[in-house]
Structure 1
Amino acid sequence: MSPHSPAPAPAPAPGDRLPGTLYATDAIPLHLRRAYWREALSRTFAELDVTVADDQCAGSLRTSRLGHVRVATVDSGPMRVRRTPAPAAPGPDEHLVVTLLVRGAARIEQDERTAELGPGDIVVCDMARPLRADFPTPFRTKSLVFPRRLPDLGEAGLRRLIARPVHPGTPLGTLLLPLLTTLVDTAETYPRALGDAQARHVLDLLGVMAADRLGHEPAGTPEAARVLLPRIRAFIDDHLADPDLSPDVIARAHHISVRYLHRLFQAEDVTVSRWIQRRRLQRCRRELARRQAAGHTIAAVAHRWGFTSAAHFSRVFRAAYGMTPAEWRDTAAHTPPTALPQTPTPSYRHILPPPRPVLTGETDRTAA
């Protein structure tokens, strides 16, 4: 090790917050910078060949750990990177690198694929395979580095991931970009146990990525459900007034199949259509109790929240709450607002018949 080689980070004590290491070229003599920068990058990602002019070699690299995952932020001038591992089976210490390009441009070549990256794009690289990466202008990246064995995707799954960019405007990009950014930026603040948990979420999302590339539903990835369900519920709440809201519409808006959408709601012990109906009933019940809405007919309130039939609305309201909409409005009108019961979750069990099965090709529209 030369006198100007990057110093290793000290080993943390059990329970400590995760330590970070900063490598920077500005304090290194100009004639030693290229060797210093190459060693810093190689320690963080893998053994690399770095091509950069001495007078352009300027950069900083901040890195820390989240369990088995290393996070890194690189700010650098233009450079070219090459990785040429021996043509043998991947070793146990080889890594995958998930990189977000924050600023600049990049061209990644791996496994006979070429990825042209712009700001916001995310790409996966396999450090067990030959790699070429060109950064023609100053750039910033945020990366996660972890053992390639951890995602348990198999060689076919890994090949589907590498050098295939995920763009920021896509559904998968909206999942990955904020999580990756937050993990890299805040890694040093996590206690180790929380860091391990966050690292597992990253691995779950890689499973989502692999399933997306293979054209499969990411049913076995809890991270997908954890992120998708709140967004789907918010989408439903934002579109309750639309009488055409249906599982098919919701699935298309979130780029998933209707079958997978129903699977997400199985854990809620309710169908998608019943969930829509429940939310509509809650909104109607709340509005009918408002004195400002006393001049609105019950049919108008029902129509406002997506019910197309006043008679159907009255039936499902009575089944859910044990009284008709008119009886509820009358009760609310003669009761102080602070004494009114909170809007309960409508109950259909043992009151309404189970929803009929949806035939192939038929749209599930029972929510209205």
Structure 2
Amino acid sequence: MAIAVHRPIESASGRQFPGLARSLFGNVRLDFASGDEAKSRMASAMLGACRLTRLEADRHVVFGEHVTARPADPDAIKLIVQMEGGASLAQSGLHAPVSRNGLVIYDPSRPYMLTNSTPVRQLLLQLPRHALPTAAVERLAQPFLAKAEQDGMCRILLSLMDSTMHEIDHLDEARRASVGQTMIELVRTMIGAERPQAKSVASPLDVLLQRIKEFIVLHLERPDLSVTMIARRMGCSVRYVYRAFEIERLSPSDYIWDLRLQKAAAQLRDAGGYAGEISEIAFALGFSSSAHFSRAFRHRYGASPSQWRKARMS
């Protein structure tokens, strides 16, 4: 299966703005009751495991009650740099003002409300949750705030994010990934996260692989389960999902189908033997047809589903 090596910049303006926001940031709700939606625009691109977005918008409120409600919603830590205008983030009992050249890092899986009380220009960085140590994520039970004039790391990150958006069209995938990794390291340093020791802590790819496997098990019966869906939920690129599976010597898709076949074999072993049961098992596990299921099952176990069931019942 071919792997895309370049993802274009995604952009939207006006009425398309809220739709792209939900696609990129999860199940958020935008309210422009006090502002002009037509003045809004954004551009976004992947930087390896990260996503960097630039947006300009009139006054509006972002409600994030159920950001990861759907399987395809990205589960990522979010960072906002306020380039112009004023905003306030309410989360976990804290009301955090975000002024010009200010930065806020927060966990959007926790309910929040972001009030942009003036027209704003912002840079947003989404980092996959697995890129930060568990202790760092736990510290984000409440938002982390910083100001460029008071924090040198904040100034460096702000400058890097801004310059990257201006040069994004001239960066190939490898350079984008390198810049994204630099941003991750800056964020880790800002929130006081110590680098994990290789001997005692799993690598980021190991952690990512474990989270992907848990996600696949939970959604194994969904016919639309795909590498793209997994990447969006993990908050990383499709290429990083493939990299995480290199140790398995299977592609993510092959892993999904093999797991489905294993589950089918277990269900056939306990099957009651009534007419249509094999087809029910196949469709319930996401196979498109009985023929598709039979071919895959025979290739995996060297017997047809009916032969497998009869052998186990005898």
Q: Give the TM-score normalised by structure 2.
A: 0.55
Counterpart in the other structure of 1:24: 13
Asked whether the equivalents of residues 77 and 106 of structure 2 are also in contact (C-alpha less than 8 Å), the reply is: yes
Residues 77-226 of structure 1 correspond to what in structure 2 (within 5 A)? 77-85=58-66, 93-151=74-132, 153-154=133-134, 156-161=135-140, 162-169=142-149, 170-211=151-192
Q: Establish whether residue 39 from structure 1 lines up as the match of residue 28 from structure 2.
A: no
Alpha-carbon offset, residue 92 of structure 1: 9.3
Distance in 2 of aligned mates of 1:84 and 1:188: 34
Paired residue type of 2:183: V
**SS where residue 110 of structure 2 aligns?**
coil
Counterpart in the other structure of 2:233: none
Counterpart in the other structure of 1:70: 51
For structure 2, the 5+ residue unaligned runs are 198-314
Alpha-carbon offset, residue 189 of structure 1: 2.1
Paired residue type of 1:190: L
Paired residue type of 1:186: E
Equivalent of 2:30 in 31, 50, 54: 50
Paired residue type of 1:73: R
Asked whether the equivalents of residues 92 and 149 of structure 1 are also in contact (C-alpha less than 8 Å), the reply is: no
Task: Give the direction of change, closer, same or farther, for the CA distance of 1:69–1:54 in structure 2 (3 Å limit).
Answer: same
Task: Give the direction of change, closer, same or farther, for the CA distance of 1:64–1:113 in structure 2 (3 Å limit).
Answer: same
Asked whether the equivalents of residues 25 and 74 of structure 2 are also in contact (C-alpha less than 8 Å), the reply is: no
Distance in 1 of aligned mates of 2:59 and 2:146: 23
Paired residue type of 2:8: P
Counterpart in the other structure of 2:289: none
Paired residue type of 2:43: R
Paired residue type of 1:38: P
Task: Give the direction of change, closer, same or farther, for the CA distance of 1:86–1:12 in structure 2 (3 Å limit).
Answer: closer
Name the count of aligned residue pairs: 192
**Post-superposition CA distance 1:223-273 (Å, at most 9, x none):** xxxxxxxxxxxxxxxxxxxxxxxxxxxxxxxxxxxxxxxxxxxxxxxxxxx
Alpha-carbon offset, residue 75 of structure 1: 0.5
For structure 1, the 5+ residue unaligned runs are 1-10, 26-32, 213-217, 222-368
Task: Give the direction of change, closer, same or farther, for the CA distance of 1:121–1:86 in structure 2 (3 Å limit).
Answer: closer
Task: Give the direction of change, closer, same or farther, for the CA distance of 1:53–1:87 in structure 2 (3 Å limit).
Answer: closer
Distance in 1 of aligned mates of 2:169 and 2:106: 24
Counterpart in the other structure of 2:290: none
Asked whether the equivalents of residues 62 and 72 of structure 1 are also in contact (C-alpha less than 8 Å), the reply is: yes
Asked whether the equivalents of residues 101 and 140 of structure 1 are also in contact (C-alpha less than 8 Å), the reply is: yes
Which of structures 1 and 2 has the larger relative contact order (alpha carbons within 8 angstroms, sep 6+)? 2
Distance in 2 of aligned mates of 1:49 and 1:174: 30
Residues 242-257 of structure 1 correspond to what in structure 2 (within 5 A)? none
Alpha-carbon offset, residue 12 of structure 1: 8.7
Alpha-carbon offset, residue 24 of structure 1: 1.1
Task: Tell me the percent identity.
Answer: 19
